[in-house]
Every structure is written in C-alpha cells, then in structure tokens.
Amino acid sequence: MRRRRITTVLGALAAATALAVSVPSSAYAAQGVLIVNGQAYEDPSGCYSVDWFPTSVTNHTDAIAEVHSGPDCTGQVEWLVYPGETYHTETAQSVFIL
C-alpha cells in the first residue's frame, strides 16, 4: 500500500511538472509608448539602441526604462526614467524596458 501511494504521488508530481513546463508563459511588455529620439515604440519590451546624441528618452508606459551607458543594454545604468518622465543625455547608448 505504501509503494502504491509513493507511486501515485510521484506520478502526480511528474504530471504537474510536465504541465508547468509545457504551458507557454505569456510575454510581458510595458503598456504605453516609449519615445527614444523622437522614435515611438508602442508597448515596448527589451533593448533599444540610441542612434544619435544628444539623446532624449520619454517614458509614457507603465514600466521603468533603464538608460545604459553601453550598447545593447550593457554597461552601467546611467538613469532610471519613470513613467511620465523625460531624460536627456549625451552619453547613453541604449535603453531597456520590460
């Protein structure tokens, strides 16, 4: 009887694990518009390159945008642009938003 219970529990755990792995997770994107140097990105998600300097980042989303000193959202976070704010810089090379 005990082996049967252990087998049942292990089977249930295996089924739950398989289900959790097989269900795709929904991708999250910020809701709203992120504007980088006049280019608008609707419901943005991920990393955006800065094309020229000086740079302007305006955040009209529900998420915080990170302004990075390096390309491809590397380097130090130079500034956090909260929803409703605009940030001007001459050194940023990329912007990341969830």
- pLDDT tens column, 31-58: 999 999 999 999 999 999 998 899 999 9
Check residue 65 and report its DSSP letter. Answer: E
pTM of the model: 0.71
**pLDDT at residue 29, as a whole number:** 86
Q: What is the CATH number of domain 32-97?
A: 2.60.20
Pick 46 or 24 by higher pLDDT: 46
Q: Which own/partner pairs from 47-52 qualify as long-range (CB within 8 Å, at least 24 positions apart)? A: 47/72, 47/73, 47/94, 47/95, 47/96, 48/94, 48/95, 48/96, 48/97, 49/93, 49/94, 50/92, 50/93, 50/94, 50/95
Residue with tokens 């739950």: 16
With a pLDDT cut of 70, the percent of the chain lying above it is: 72
